[in-house]
Homo-oligomer: A and B are copies of this chain.
Amino acid sequence: MNFFTSTMRNVSQSTVRRLSLYLRCLEDFRARGIPTVSSRELAESVGLTPAQVRKDLSYFGSFGKRGLGYSVQDLESRLRGILGVDRGWGIAVVGAGRIGLALARYPSFRTRGFELRAIFDNDPAKIGRRWGALTVQDIDKFPKVARARGIEIAILTVPESAAQEVADRVVAAGVRAILNFAPAGLQVPDGVAVNNVDMALELEGLAFALANGEGSGD
């Protein structure tokens, strides 16, 4: 039992990542009309152990029925609540290069609890261009636009050399979560969350695995 102990400090990064996997899986089960799922089935679908699944969930409450399992619909909406994707977070892409624009086309922002609300760049040649429903805006207008549109998460797809400066600016504008695609270790104040996506790092992990004759990554 767990009465929403307001501050949830003691849940590991890996647990949160696994919750995302469970959520994706549950969406799939629901789409296939399956009403109920056991920790074993869930575990098999994502390649983990039943105990791991139950332990992960137990950090947040008791969502199952003993002898029966979990209601797919119910657990799905619980996980949405826990992960905080039961509301639409305002997102901006900063850096209207190839990668930024490709990500901006990511189809399922909306269905996953996120809303792309702005795209920024500092290149006059790019500013003003339309991209889907949005127009590329001048990065100098970030603070104003961010406030107006409720930008809460910034996706940084700028060159490495600009990454820290851009990060400083979006943080100064009140953004407290950054998804960073530049191969850089961003320096941010406490209270700002950063997740890095780094292709070079992933490739090097694979090179290591190949060079050492080992299978499996994550």
Contact = CB atoms under 8 A, between A and B. Distances in A.
A98 interface: yes
7 contacts: A7-B212, A7-B213, A89-B203, A112-B200, A112-B204, A179-B206, A190-B216
Given A194-B216, A218-B13, A210 B89 contact: yes
Contact of A201 (B17, B82, B194): B17
A46 B46 CA distance: 31
Interface stretch (A31-39, A100-108, A121-129, A135-143): A100-108
Contacts of A89: 203, 207, 210
B194 A202 contact: no
Copies of the protein in its oligomer: 2
Contacts of A112: 200, 203-204
Contacts of A216: 190, 192-194
Interface residues of A, number: 71
Interface stretch (A18-26, A49-57, A66-74, A162-170): A18-26
B215 A192 contact: yes
A91 B203 CA distance: 10
Given A101-B98, A197-B199, A204-B85, A210 B21 contact: no
